[in-house]
Protein backbone atom coordinates (compact mmCIF):
# COMPACT_ATOMS: atom_id res chain seq x y z
CA UNK A 1 0.00 0.00 0.00
CA UNK A 2 1.55 3.34 -0.92
CA UNK A 3 1.96 6.06 1.65
CA UNK A 4 3.37 9.54 1.83
CA UNK A 5 5.16 11.55 4.48
CA UNK A 6 5.23 15.29 4.79
CA UNK A 7 7.13 17.58 7.10
CA UNK A 8 5.02 19.44 9.66
CA UNK A 9 6.43 22.30 11.70
CA UNK A 10 6.64 21.50 15.40
CA UNK A 11 3.99 23.06 17.62
CA UNK A 12 4.98 26.06 19.68
CA UNK A 13 4.79 25.26 23.39
CA UNK A 14 6.03 28.49 24.98
CA UNK A 15 7.34 31.92 24.01
CA UNK A 16 9.01 34.47 26.27
CA UNK A 17 11.59 37.19 25.76
CA UNK A 18 11.93 36.41 22.07
CA UNK A 19 12.73 32.75 22.74
CA UNK A 20 10.38 30.14 21.31
CA UNK A 21 10.22 26.62 22.73
CA UNK A 22 8.78 23.90 20.51
CA UNK A 23 7.52 20.38 21.13
CA UNK A 24 9.51 17.38 19.96
CA UNK A 25 7.97 14.09 18.85
CA UNK A 26 8.98 10.50 19.45
CA UNK A 27 10.84 9.22 16.39
CA UNK A 28 9.88 12.55 14.75
CA UNK A 29 6.41 11.13 14.22
CA UNK A 30 3.65 13.70 14.68
CA UNK A 31 0.98 11.04 15.17
CA UNK A 32 2.67 9.93 18.43
CA UNK A 33 1.88 13.34 19.89
CA UNK A 34 4.27 15.73 21.53
CA UNK A 35 6.79 14.58 24.09
CA UNK A 36 5.91 15.64 27.58
CA UNK A 37 9.50 16.29 28.63
CA UNK A 38 11.70 16.91 25.55
CA UNK A 39 11.66 20.29 23.86
CA UNK A 40 13.69 22.16 21.24
CA UNK A 41 14.41 25.78 20.39
CA UNK A 42 14.34 25.04 16.64
CA UNK A 43 11.22 25.53 14.55
CA UNK A 44 12.57 23.62 11.58
CA UNK A 45 12.51 20.16 13.07
CA UNK A 46 16.24 20.08 13.74
CA UNK A 47 17.67 19.71 17.18
CA UNK A 48 21.03 19.32 18.80
CA UNK A 49 22.49 18.99 22.26
CA UNK A 50 22.67 22.77 22.72
CA UNK A 51 19.09 23.58 21.78
CA UNK A 52 17.17 20.43 22.68
CA UNK A 53 16.60 19.55 26.29
CA UNK A 54 14.74 17.47 28.83
CA UNK A 55 12.75 19.92 30.95
CA UNK A 56 13.28 17.78 34.06
CA UNK A 57 17.04 18.44 33.86
CA UNK A 58 16.45 22.13 33.22
CA UNK A 59 14.11 22.19 36.23
CA UNK A 60 16.89 20.83 38.47
CA UNK A 61 19.29 23.45 37.11
CA UNK A 62 16.86 26.36 37.57
CA UNK A 63 15.41 25.23 40.91
CA UNK A 64 18.15 23.00 42.41
CA UNK A 65 16.79 23.03 45.96
CA UNK A 66 13.18 22.19 45.04
CA UNK A 67 12.63 21.21 41.41
CA UNK A 68 9.05 22.02 40.52
CA UNK A 69 8.35 18.84 38.58
CA UNK A 70 9.36 16.62 41.49
CA UNK A 71 6.58 17.92 43.72
CA UNK A 72 4.08 15.42 42.40
CA UNK A 73 1.97 13.05 44.48
CA UNK A 74 3.17 9.48 45.11
CA UNK A 75 3.21 7.24 42.07
CA UNK A 76 0.20 4.97 41.78
CA UNK A 77 2.00 1.69 42.37
CA UNK A 78 1.16 -1.21 44.65
CA UNK A 79 4.34 -0.62 46.65
CA UNK A 80 3.18 2.93 47.48
CA UNK A 81 -0.14 1.58 48.81
CA UNK A 82 0.82 -1.62 50.64
CA UNK A 83 -2.29 -1.61 52.83
CA UNK A 84 -4.41 -1.50 49.65
CA UNK A 85 -6.38 1.40 51.08
CA UNK A 86 -8.89 2.42 48.44
CA UNK A 87 -9.32 5.84 50.05
CA UNK A 88 -5.57 6.55 50.02
CA UNK A 89 -5.31 5.39 46.42
CA UNK A 90 -8.27 7.54 45.34
CA UNK A 91 -6.77 10.56 47.10
CA UNK A 92 -3.45 10.03 45.31
CA UNK A 93 -5.24 9.53 41.99
CA UNK A 94 -7.11 12.80 42.49
CA UNK A 95 -3.76 14.41 43.31
CA UNK A 96 -2.39 13.22 39.97
CA UNK A 97 -5.36 14.65 38.11
CA UNK A 98 -4.75 18.04 39.75
CA UNK A 99 -1.00 17.70 39.15
CA UNK A 100 -1.49 17.15 35.42
CA UNK A 101 -3.89 20.06 35.20
CA UNK A 102 -1.10 22.32 36.49
CA UNK A 103 1.89 20.61 34.85
CA UNK A 104 2.11 22.94 31.84
CA UNK A 105 2.01 25.91 34.21
CA UNK A 106 5.02 24.50 36.07
CA UNK A 107 6.86 23.93 32.80
CA UNK A 108 6.09 27.50 31.73
CA UNK A 109 7.51 28.79 35.02
CA UNK A 110 10.70 26.76 34.54
CA UNK A 111 11.11 27.98 30.96
CA UNK A 112 10.42 31.62 31.86
CA UNK A 113 13.02 31.54 34.62
CA UNK A 114 15.59 29.77 32.40
CA UNK A 115 15.11 32.35 29.64
CA UNK A 116 15.29 35.26 32.09
CA UNK A 117 18.57 33.87 33.47
CA UNK A 118 19.98 33.43 29.97
CA UNK A 119 20.09 29.64 30.17
CA UNK A 120 17.93 29.37 27.04
CA UNK A 121 18.50 31.60 24.03
CA UNK A 122 17.06 31.68 20.56
CA UNK A 123 19.26 29.71 18.12
CA UNK A 124 19.27 32.73 15.79
CA UNK A 125 20.69 34.85 18.64
CA UNK A 126 23.41 32.25 19.20
CA UNK A 127 24.44 32.38 15.54
CA UNK A 128 24.61 36.18 15.48
pLDDT in tens, 87-106: 878 888 888 889 888 999 99
Q: What's the rounded Cα separation, in Å, for the pair 34 and 49?
A: 19
**Out of 12-21, 32-41, 62-71, 78-87, least confident range:** 78-87
Query: Is the predicted pLDDT of residue 109 greater than 70, yes or no?
Result: yes
Q: What's the rounded Cα separation, in Å, for the pair 62 and 41?
A: 17
Q: Which residue has the higher pLDDT, 111 or 128?
A: 111
Query: Is the predicted pLDDT of residue 126 greater than 70, yes or no?
Result: no
> Cα-Cα-Cα-Cα dihedral of 94, 97, 103, 104, to 10°?
-150
Q: What's the rounded Cα separation, in Å, for the pair 84 and 68?
A: 29
Mean per-residue pLDDT of the chain: 86
Q: What's the rounded Cα separation, in Å, for the pair 59 and 67?
A: 5
Q: Which residue has the higher pLDDT, 52 or 77?
A: 52
pLDDT digits (tens, 9 = 90+) for 41-74: 988 867 777 789 999 999 999 999 999 999 888 7
Instruction: Supply the DSSP string of 26-72, one letter for each residue.
Output: GGG-GGG-EEEEEEES-SSS---TTTEEEHHHHHHHHSSSS-GGG-P
- Where along the chain do its domains lie? 12-127
Amino acid sequence: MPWSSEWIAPELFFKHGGVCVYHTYKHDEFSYGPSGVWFTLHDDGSYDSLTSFDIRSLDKEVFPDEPLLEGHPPYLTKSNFPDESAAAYEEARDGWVKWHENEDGLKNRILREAIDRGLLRSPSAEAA
